[in-house]
């Protein structure tokens, strides 16, 4: 293929060298222009993403400060400090769920008459998730009794999920929410999730004020790195916090 291109260009230059110089200059100018346009576009979108990340990180920190205050923890930045850390392992994920038409012969028969699962049931392992979506529904959360409740989509609001680490750091006072996302049969769902996480070597512990003889520590101390490693060894829907739960005899001790 490379030879062929070389051959054609040689031929063109043989026919009219001046023309060819002009053509390749035009071509080069066009390519440079396209490249600059693409770079400009890339830098505009990457600065928009950076600005968004900064804004949602600030929101997550403010929420965590309020939460610590509400729990009567004297050091109100005990949770947010982990996210503000320069080595914070926070990430952003963009999800796209293309429409999945229901292609059933018999429209009334289950399960092909139901929406397909786009993102399986799970809880978020990090501290807090700030989720935003377009106006296409699909997100569902699981209640204590196991019932699934749809979350009304609203592009102007944020959905905040408590993650596993916050459950551990509040000694079970806040519970990480199990959720899943279903596809829509005719429209695309888009969502953007900011997962606020500590640095990998941060020790996940409970503020001492939240532990008492009546409410002993539920989880052993662990690092986020250890938790992530354990999480990767499990399936998406498995409960990871169970691995770090104190044994009953340790709680009494």
Give the residue among 245, 195, 219 at the shortest CA–CA distance from 57. Answer: 195
Residue 103 beta carbon to ligand AKG: minimum distance, rounded to whole angstroms: 23
Instruction: Give SS3 for 29.
Output: helix
113-117 long-range Cβ contacts below 8 angstroms, 24+ apart: 115/182, 115/183, 115/184, 115/185, 116/182, 116/183, 117/180, 117/181, 117/182, 117/183
Nearer to ligand AKG, 23 or 95 (CB): 95
Tokens of 172: 């079970």
Tokens of 75: 């050091």
CA distances from residue 164 to 57, 105, 116, 171, 216 in whole angstroms, order as listed: 18, 42, 26, 11, 18
Residue 163 beta carbon to ligand AKG: minimum distance, rounded to whole angstroms: 10
134 binds ligand AKG (CB under 6 A): no
196 binds ligand AKG (CB under 6 A): no
Binder among 178, 179, 217, 222 for ligand AKG (CB under 6 A): 179
Residue 217 beta carbon to ligand AKG: minimum distance, rounded to whole angstroms: 28
> Active site includes 93?
no
194 binds ligand AKG (CB under 6 A): no
119 binds ligand AKG (CB under 6 A): yes
How far apart (Å, rounded) are the C-alpha atoms in residues 22 and 56?
51
Nearer to ligand AKG, 39 or 96 (CB): 96
88 binds ligand AKG (CB under 6 A): no
191 binds ligand AKG (CB under 6 A): yes
95 binds ligand AKG (CB under 6 A): yes
162 binds ligand AKG (CB under 6 A): no
Residue 196 beta carbon to ligand AKG: minimum distance, rounded to whole angstroms: 13
How far apart (Å, rounded) are the C-alpha atoms in residues 237 and 100?
22
193 binds ligand AKG (CB under 6 A): yes
Q: Which stretch binds ligand AKG (CB under 6 A): 24-32, 102-110, 131-139, 169-177?
A: 131-139
Residue 197 beta carbon to ligand AKG: minimum distance, rounded to whole angstroms: 13
How far apart (Å, rounded) are the C-alpha atoms in residues 27 and 67?
59
- From 189, 203, 235, 245, active-site residue: 189
Tokens of 137: 């529904």
CB neighbour burial string for 73-99, b if at least 16 within 10 angstroms, e if fewer:
beebebbbbbbeeeebbbeeeeeebee
For residue 219, the 8-state DSSP code is: B
Catalytic residues: 189
Which residues sit at the interface with ligand AKG, rule CB under 6 A? 93, 95, 119, 124, 131, 133, 139, 179, 181, 191, 193
């Amino acid at each position: 293929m490379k030879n062929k291109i070389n051959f054609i260009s040689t031929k063109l230059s043989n026919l009219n060298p001046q023309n060819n110089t002009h053509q390749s200059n035009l071509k080069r100018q066009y390519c440079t222009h396209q490249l600059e346009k693409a770079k400009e576009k890339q830098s505009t979108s990457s600065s928009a993403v950076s600005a968004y990340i900064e804004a949602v990180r600030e929101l997550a920190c403010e929420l965590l400060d309020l939460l610590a205050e509400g729990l009567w923890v004297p050091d109100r930045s005990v949770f947010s400090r982990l996210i503000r850390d320069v080595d914070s392992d926070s990430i952003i994920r963009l999800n796209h769920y293309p429409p999945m038409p229901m292609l059933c012969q018999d429209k009334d028969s289950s399960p092909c008459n139901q929406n397909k699962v786009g993102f399986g049931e799970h809880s978020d392992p990090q501290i807090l998730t700030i989720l935003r979506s377009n106006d296409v529904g699909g997100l569902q959360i699981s209640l204590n009794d196991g019932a699934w409740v749809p979350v009304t989509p609203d592009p102007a609001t944020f959905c905040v999920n408590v993650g596993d680490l916050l459950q551990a750091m509040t000694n079970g006072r806040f519970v990480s929410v199990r959720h899943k996302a279903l596809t829509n049969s005719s429209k695309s769902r888009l969502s953007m999730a900011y997962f606020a996480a500590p640095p990998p070597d941060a020790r996940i512990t409970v503020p001492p004020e939240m532990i008492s003889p009546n409410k002993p520590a539920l989880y052993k101390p662990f690092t986020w790195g250890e938790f992530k490693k354990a999480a990767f060894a499990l399936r998406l829907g498995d409960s990871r916090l169970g691995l770090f739960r104190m044994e009953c005899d340790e709680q009494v001790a």
